[in-house]
């Protein structure tokens, strides 16, 4: 018996994958410079390091290390969900390819430690008029049951 799943759409296209199967981890959409190999998130056409034109689309590692974090004591924007009312974590995560990604974090203030391994997931913000779930990428402590 298959459970009925609502289709999911990203809050803004072009930043992360939204796998059909929620069990499949999402990936960030990045770029790799064809001339010098530097990686970027989000995607860009011109390399910010060597200024060469021409990058390849790549999927970036879904895991990285927490460089810094904070906890914002306001509801996550655009969300009316009760579990978003108290606030949300924000952090910068260093990916093994180089980019430092600033994103929402999953968890409470006590869950975060600088240097810990984080993994990418998708969080539902709300349902849109078409009945789809609007999702945003976020990082949570790696290897944790959710």
Partner 1 sequence: MKLENVAVLGVGMTRFGVYRDRSNIDLAREAGLAALRDAGISFKEVGEAFVGYLGAMPMTGIRAMKEFGLTGLPVTHIENASATGLVAFRDAAWAVASGRCQVAMALGFDKMTEMSAGRGAGRGVGRDAIDSVILPAAYFSLWAMRRMHERGTKPEHFAAIAAKNWNFGAKNPWSDRQPDHEVTVEEILASRKIAEPVTAMMSCPVDDGAACAILATREMARRLQPGRPLVAPIVSALQSETYARGHTFMGPVVGPPSMTRDTAREAYEESGVGPEDVSLTLVHDAFATEELEYYELLGFCREGEAEKLVEERQTHLGGRFPFNTDGGLIARGHPGGPTGLAQIFELTRQLRGEAGPRQVANARIGLAHLVGGGSVCTVSILRRE
Closer residue to partner 1 (CB): 101 or 120: 101
How far is Cα of residue 76 from the mean position of the Cα atoms in its chain?
15
Q: Which residue is listed with tokens 């999927």?
A: 59
SS3 call for 138: strand
Closer residue to partner 1 (CB): 62 or 112: 112
Closer residue to partner 1 (CB): 93 or 145: 93
Beta strands in the chain (DSSP E): 8-10, 29-33, 39-40, 55-59, 63-72, 88-94, 100-105, 117-127, 133-141
Contacts with partner 1 by CB under 8 A lie at 10-12, 15, 40-42, 44, 48-49, 67-74, 76-78, 90-92, 94, 98, 100-104, 109, 114, 136
From the CB of residue 18, how many other CB atoms can be counted at a distance below 10 Å? 17
Find, among 138, 21, 47, the residue nearest to 90 by Cα. 138
Find the shortest distance in angstroms from Cβ 100 to partner 1: 5
Closer residue to partner 1 (CB): 2 or 113: 113
Find the shortest distance in angstroms from Cβ 112 to partner 1: 9
H or E stretch at 37: none
Find the shortest distance in angstroms from Cβ 15 to partner 1: 6
Find the shortest distance in angstroms from Cβ 88 to partner 1: 8
């Amino acid at each position: 018996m298959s459970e009925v799943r609502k289709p999911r759409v990203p809050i803004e296209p072009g930043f992360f994958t939204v796998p059909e199967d929620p069990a499949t981890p999402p990936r960030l959409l990045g770029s790799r410079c064809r001339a010098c190999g530097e990686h970027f998130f989000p995607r860009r056409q011109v390399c910010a390091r060597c200024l060469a034109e021409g990058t390849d689309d790549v999927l970036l590692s879904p895991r990285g290390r927490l460089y810094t974090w904070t906890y914002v004591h306001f509801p996550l924007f655009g969300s009316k969900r009760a579990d978003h009312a108290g606030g949300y974590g924000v952090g910068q995560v260093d990916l093994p390819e180089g980019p430092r990604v600033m994103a929402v974090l999953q968890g409470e203030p006590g869950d975060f430690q600088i240097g810990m391994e984080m993994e990418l997931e998708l969080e539902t913000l709300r349902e849109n008029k078409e009945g789809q779930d609007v999702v945003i990428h976020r990082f949570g402590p790696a290897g944790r049951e959710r």
